[in-house]
Structure 1
């Protein structure tokens, strides 16, 4: 992605009021990395250690972006996104996982996540990746309404 496109995507993210992120991961270190990213991007965030906590939070509050691990105790990411879809809530959603297996990625996308990012990704590039996904999601969701 070129620099001009990255800047445009970030501007779009801010203009679209992507302000509040819910982070769901049972690994405290990974949650902290994502929390630092939110702080750096001046985004509000809530963190949960499993899908059940996140689902309860999503029923009570509005979030502009969901970033969820897939493999967690109590309720994993795939079960979480399926429960969200049952309530007819739509939130741009990103699955993250240490497992980069193509079957895992396929399962995440088929369950309703908008995109999949491996945990091995250099999170310094997370803004560009997330901005790109939000732009694509926004374009497709409005184009086909």
Structure 2
């Protein structure tokens, strides 16, 4: 299996559909979904429906093409057929799980026996739909899987020797005792570390953490970043980096 690059990237889009996360002036950062399907017409139909509901889509004809996409792009969820040339959906799922790639996977296939479903779930898929599929149901399942994935990961986060506890709003660094820090500082740090190497604009961070309707200046983000750097400037696990002209990103230290 090729080594998969899990670094997060961003996509700029111009239509005003609010599903996922805000990003950049005039656009939004949306959930990115990889559709792996060798039936070109069905692949196109799925992609069109997902785009209509505000998702960014990437397309692959089989498992090998899917791995190529995953090497270059951060994907939030995969919709995969099973029976495909070169590498089928079962093998794709097994390889991703073996590589600790924990994004949600929805299998869509004509194979409908219990044994087929059992093999899919055993490989590591999260949900299963039998063709012919209801596109509206697919959209609902995608939303549910993304919400479930977010809920499963949002309460605790470990980056190197740094452990963040969302419930306690606390941070333990390099084996030290957990320290409770101000709420907005914690939320900002948690957001940045949840997406290492992903660039966030000041406006995006304000909208997500302080709320779109709040009259808060973008310099508020700068102040909170400065405080975080003062607290964790010597941390061996991460740096908060300024991206000139855009905003900030968290970078894991090797």
The yes-or-no answer on 1:95 pairing with 2:128 is no
Q: Which residue is equivalent to 1:69?
A: 81
1:11-61 alpha-carbon deviations (Å, 9 max, x no partner): 8x6259751111001111110111111221121111110000001211221
Is the 8 Å Cα contact of residues 21 and 65 (structure 1) preserved in structure 2? yes
Determine whether 1:78 maps to 2:84: no
In the alignment, what sits opposite 2:62?
A: 50
Q: Please give the alpha-carbon distance, in whole angstroms, between the structure 1 residues aligned to 2:110 and 2:55.
A: 24
Whole-Å separation in 2 of the counterparts to 1:134 and 1:19: 9
- Counterpart of 1:116 in 2: which secondary structure? strand
Q: Distance in 2 between matches of 1:144 and 1:102?
A: 35
For residue 4 of structure 1, what is the aligned residue in structure 2? none
Query: How far apart are the structure 2 equivalents of 1:122 and 1:91?
Result: 23
Of structures 1 and 2, the one scoring higher in RCO (CA 8 A, sep 6+) is 1
TM norm structure 1: 0.81
**Structure 2: runs of 5+ lacking an equivalent:** 1-17, 23-28, 158-254
Q: Do the aligned residues in 2 keep the contact of 1:25 with 1:68 (CA within 8 Å)?
A: yes
Residue of structure 2 in register with 1:115 after alignment: 127
Contact 1:18 1:65 in 2 (8 A): no
Q: Normalization by structure 2: what TM-score?
A: 0.48
Q: CA RMSD in A?
A: 2.2
Q: Counting helix residues as a fraction of each chain, which structure ranks higher?
A: 1
- The structure with the largest strand share of the pair is 2
Residue segments in structure 1 that go unaligned for 5+ positions in a row: 1-10
Distance 2:114 2:30 in 1: 29
* Greater Rg by CA: 2
Which residue in the other structure is 1:7 paired with?
Answer: none
